[in-house]
Structure 1
Amino acid sequence: MSHLPECQTLLLELHGGVLHVTLNRPDSRNAMSLQMVNELRAVFAAVADERDIRALVLSGAGGHFCAGGDIKDMASARAQGGEAYRELNRAFGALLEEAQNTPQVLITVIQGAVLGGGFGLACVSDVAIADHQAQFGLPETSLGVIPAQIAPFVLQRIGLTETRRLALTAARFDGDQARQLGLVHFVERDAQALAERLDEVLQQVLRCAPQANGMTKKLLLASAVQPSSELLDQAAQWFSEAAVGEEGVEGTLAFVQKRKPRWAT
């Protein structure tokens, strides 16, 4: 474990060639703070050349996967202005790119809230296992901002038609619907079934040669249309403009005050 970074927002456990990474901010339903983004990026960088680590299992503490971006970081960025919003947003896009391209098999085990950034992480996993009661959604537009870094990865995962519906309605849906959309591969009814399915998937992964898996993943991603860095740069700029604009200010204020924003009738 000496090569792995010290983390405050993540729990790291290495067992038999599998690194279990647990998002560990349960008090905020594992909301994605900038610190958590940076720590996850450090983990992906640390394991990139570690062939002894065959798979990464990403889950959340306290019964939730990830409830999206951290409102405190958003408030801090507001105090600093639009450029801080752009940098905060773009850092998360970089995390999604790095998670997408990690040579290990990335498995997500999903319970509870899977919103915004958490939704994006589910979309870049190689295998996604969800509880049937998990709650998925892209709430950004209901907060007056846009799913800037997430949308290209969602589109790649489930296609333009369904992504348009989900992003433009901020609709919530459960694990069974996520399976129908092709967002997740397996849906289980309880914690024991989730654990058993994970064991089964890991046994399958460990039968595959690590270098062959890494190269196959690289080939498959290159064969698909990938979200480009240029698009994510532009999207971060649009996000910062939305966040400091009238709707973004009203949307996040309404969220904190637990009321409907002005446009929601």
Structure 2
Amino acid sequence: MQTLPHCETLLLKKQGPVLHVTINRPESRNAMSLQMVAELSTIFTEVESDSSIRAVVIRGSGGHFCAGGDIKDMAGARNQDAGEGETDPFYRLNRAFGQMLQQVNESSKVVVAVTEGAIMGGGFGLACISDVAIAGPTAKFGMPETSLGIIPAQIAPFVVERIGLTQARRLALLGLRIGAAEACALGIVHQAAASDEELNEMLAQALDRIRHCAPNATAETKALLHRVGHESMGGLLDSAADIFAKAVRGSEGAEGTMAFMQKRPPAWTDTK
């Protein structure tokens, strides 16, 4: 990604191996529009082929992460009639969001969510597909869909994967809103900060740890973790052993071993 693309709903800033993506619709508490979905999808498509980027940090402007779906898009879809043989506009809107979530979830990069203020509906789903999630003191998480007469169609599977069926049932079926401490206890986020300063320090520490981990090994590990529960254990372990052997014999394995023996940082920690 030599030049950062222009986005209407996102602010982009590259710092070394980290791409910072700030959702920038503060007038709507960063509600997720179709345009935002398309722009996030474009960014993650480009990031996937950029070896200089090892992590993507997603956060929101104006004190909020993302307050859910954009009501204007919902209203626009309601005014569209599906012609004969055409797909329902509500289906297309909802499914486009789910495809973006799946793309981000399966990205080979480390995805870090910095959550503050409203993290509702689609924003909740976006937090649940991050690899590392940190909550600020103002964070409020929720799945309000059922209280609005709709369903959390695209985020529900990711929420179940994140925190398990039992807890997902309680949040979704009661339309609950919870704070950062409970979100941390449930495993929605990994850390909850007591102040903005602590939030930024937690982010800096996470990015430092990402820098210390080999990029290809990190990507292979993330892909392996996503396969758990979807394949037979024996077959998965056979495949994992093959990946392990290739990693040990590869350039990162050689460099990591040599760096350990020479008591020096491996080459991939130098990101300047």
TM-score by shorter chain over 0.5? yes
For 1:13 and 1:173, locate their aligned partners in 2 and report how far apart those are by CA, in whole Å.
31
Counterparts of residues 89-168 of structure 1 (less than 5 Å):
89-168=94-173
2:68 paired residue number: 68
For 1:49 and 1:94, locate their aligned partners in 2 and report how far apart those are by CA, in whole Å.
19
For 2:2 and 2:92, locate their aligned partners in 1 and report how far apart those are by CA, in whole Å.
30
For 2:20 and 2:55, locate their aligned partners in 1 and report how far apart those are by CA, in whole Å.
8
**Of the two structures, which has the highest relative contact order with CA contacts closer than 8 Å and spacing of 6 or more?**
1
1:181 paired residue number: 186
For 2:3 and 2:99, locate their aligned partners in 1 and report how far apart those are by CA, in whole Å.
22
SS at match of 1:67: coil
SS at match of 2:14: strand
Structure with higher Rg: it is 2
Structure 1, unmatched stretches of 5+, are 227-265
Write the letter of the residue equivalent to 1:38: A
Identity %: 55
For 1:224 and 1:92, locate their aligned partners in 2 and report how far apart those are by CA, in whole Å.
24
Q: Per-residue displacement from partner, 1:83-119 (whole Å, max 9, x unpaired)? A: 1100000000001100101111000000000000000
SS at match of 1:63: coil
Deviation, 1:225, is 4.7
Structure 2, unmatched stretches of 5+, are 83-87, 232-272
1:56 paired residue number: 56
Deviation, 1:191, is 1.1
Given that residues 106 and 126 in structure 1 are in contact (C-alpha distance below 8 angstroms), is that contact kept between their aligned partners in structure 2? yes
2:265 paired residue number: none
SS at match of 2:92: helix
1:37 paired residue number: 37
SS at match of 1:74: helix
Q: Per-residue displacement from partner, 1:28-81 (whole Å, max 9, x unpaired)? A: 000000000000000000000111101000000000000000000000000014
TM-score by structure 2 length? 0.81
2:176 paired residue number: 171
Given that residues 125 and 155 in structure 2 are in contact (C-alpha distance below 8 angstroms), is that contact kept between their aligned partners in structure 1? yes
Write the letter of the residue equivalent to 1:88: L
Q: Which runs of 4+ in 1 moved over 4 A?
A: none
For 2:12 and 2:110, locate their aligned partners in 1 and report how far apart those are by CA, in whole Å.
16
1:193 paired residue number: 198
Range with greater deviation from structure 2 (126-135 or 143-152): 126-135
SS at match of 2:169: helix
Write the letter of the residue equivalent to 2:209: Q
RMSD value, Cα: 1.2
What is the count of residue pairs matched by the alignment?
226
Write the letter of the residue equivalent to 1:68: G
Counterparts of residues 82-93 of structure 1 (less than 5 Å):
83-93=88-98
Deviation, 1:133, is 2.8
1:177 and 1:74, CA in 2 relative to 1: closer, same or farther beyond 3 A?
same
1:253 paired residue number: none
1:24 paired residue number: 24
Given that residues 51 and 211 in structure 1 are in contact (C-alpha distance below 8 angstroms), is that contact kept between their aligned partners in structure 2? no
TM-score by structure 1 length? 0.83
Write the letter of the residue equivalent to 2:28: S
Write the letter of the residue equivalent to 2:45: A
Given that residues 132 and 189 in structure 2 are in contact (C-alpha distance below 8 angstroms), is that contact kept between their aligned partners in structure 1? yes
